[in-house]
Chains A and B, each alone.
Chain A
Amino acid sequence: MGKQIVSVNINGKKVEKAVEPRTLLIHFLREDCQLTGAHIGCETSHCGACTVDLDGASVKSCTHLAVQCDGSELLTVEGLAKGPLLHAVQEGFYREHGLQCGFCTPGMLMRSYRFLQENPNPTEEEVRAGISGNLCRCTGYQNIVKAVLYAAAKLQQTEKVAA
């Protein structure tokens, strides 16, 4: 049960640490890497507050071992903004009042970030299905849906300008 070395790229930076195999990725991020944006809301893999982007897919980091991430690319909510410039999903949640207590928000943002790459022009129904792995106690989801749709529009606008 000795520690194993894990080498991961987190938010563009290489991180190398020794971890116990049983260390959950969420604890590795929060306690070993001090990336405390990702949260823990349950122990049954339901709430999605711990969602991060792992090798191009949304995963619940409470149900993944840190040791499994050797050689992986991780993106957490701390890596979304480019300097002072918010990512479109962050701007959308802010503009549309898609958060209150903010506890689900990092997970919601990371899921929305990936969902909008899977489906750049979603319907409201698709947004709701797309974030069904993320629970929120505060908002009733309505403004989160608006926030994701805002971000979708903004991202498409940005793409048009770039093209």
Chain B
Amino acid sequence: MIPSGFDYHAPRSVGDAIKLLGEYAGDAKLLAGGHSLLPMMKLRFAAPAHLIDLNRIDSLRGIREEGGTIVIGAMTVEAELIRSTLLQQKVPLLPEAAKQIADPQVRNRGTIGGDIAHGDPGNDHPALSMAIDAEFVLEGPNGTRTVQADGFFQGTYMTDMAEDEVMVAIRVPAFLPGTGYAYQKLKRKTGDWATAGAAVVLRLEGGNVSHVRIALTNLAPTALRAHDAEAALLGKPLTEAAIADAAQRAMAVCDPAEDLRGDTEYKTAMAGQMVQRSLRLALSRCK
């Protein structure tokens, strides 16, 4: 319950936050919503000497549209994703899935950027961001760079983000009209991390699959994109046989950790089930 002592900094700009990261290189952690970092500090899994609080940097919050792209500030809280009418219209998978993350209080503090940057395979946004073809805008001492969600997650708690970088925004192409989507998450109870989860984004053209993304939560050391399952579906009608085949291909890439949520066999089987349910629900939403 009691974290180690640390110095607290509350910069007002991203530039100042980056400067502080440079000044305390290796000893500092960015504090966003604090609902993963503080729990780790309270158990002394983490004991940074400096916390750099991003909560007073207004430019990191908010959701806006730029051309066909929806830009979400990294410090936007989960509750705001759920409330956003812009997201409900343009990227409806995000508000729907955010309701399945944690609980109301946690969603008032936890941010989309923090959920992604944490790099926990149990978190939901990593797979979601791959399914929606998101890209992340990272700012460091040498300027900004933009990286794809697919490829960002390198290991458990490890991402492509450097120690002196701040994630400033998540950029998502608006869904084209008629896009189907779903996030099926198997969990022991409300507020728990997934035993297995599958995010799907789907489009049909002339009855055949013209676009499909399948991404998996908590089924490997990182969130996974099931490329093989996607490739097998492209250009064909989404029949029950095709759905079953895609589920098998998605299960083949799973490498879950055995824990109190179940053994590898159970989790892999549930991955297949979640993929099937998500594909069916996404199909029913395609227009």
Contacts and interface: CB of A to CB of B under 8 A. Distances in A.
Nearest to A67: B8
B28 to A, nearest CB: 13
Interface stretch (B88-96, B102-110, B127-135): B102-110
B8 A111 contact: no
Contacts of A63: 34-35, 38-39, 106, 109
B57 to A, nearest CB: 13
B237 interface: no
A129 B190 contact: yes
Given A63-B109, A115-B104, A130-B104, A45 B39 contact: yes
A17 B7 CA distance: 17
A101 interface: no
Interface string B1-24: 111111110100000000000000
A20 interface: yes
B79 interface: yes
A111 B102 CA distance: 15
Contacts of B64: none
**Contact size range, A:** 20 to 34
Given A1-B6, A63-B34, A64-B34, A21 B51 contact: yes
Interface string B184-198: 000000110000000
A57 interface: yes
A63 B41 CA distance: 10
Contacts of B3: 22, 24
Contact of B103 (A40, A48, A62): A48
Interface residues of B, number: 28
B38 A58 contact: no
Nearest to A54: B108
A45 B35 contact: yes
Contacts of B38: 24, 45, 63-65
B12 to A, nearest CB: 13
Contact of B43 (A43, A57, A60): A43
Nearest to B3: A22
B160 interface: no
B261 interface: no
Contacts of A132: 103-104, 190-191
Interface string A13-34: 0000000111010000000000
Interface in B50-64: 51, 53, 55
A47 to B, nearest CB: 10
B5 A64 contact: no
B39 A44 contact: yes
Contacts of A46: 191
Given A57-B108, A63-B39, A115-B104, A68 B7 contact: no
Nearest to A19: B8
A111 B39 contact: no
B5 A59 contact: no
B42 interface: yes
A1 B47 CA distance: 13
A121 to B, nearest CB: 17
Interface of A: 1, 4, 20-22, 24, 40, 43-46, 48, 51, 57-60, 62-65, 67-68, 111, 115, 129-133
20 contacts: A4-B8, A22-B3, A24-B1, A24-B42, A43-B1, A45-B38, A45-B106, A57-B108, A60-B109, A62-B1, A62-B42, A63-B38, A64-B34, A64-B109, A68-B55, A111-B105, A129-B104, A132-B103, A133-B105, A133-B191
Given A20-B5, A63-B38, A133-B103, 5 more contacts: A57-B108, A60-B106, A68-B53, A68-B55, A132-B191
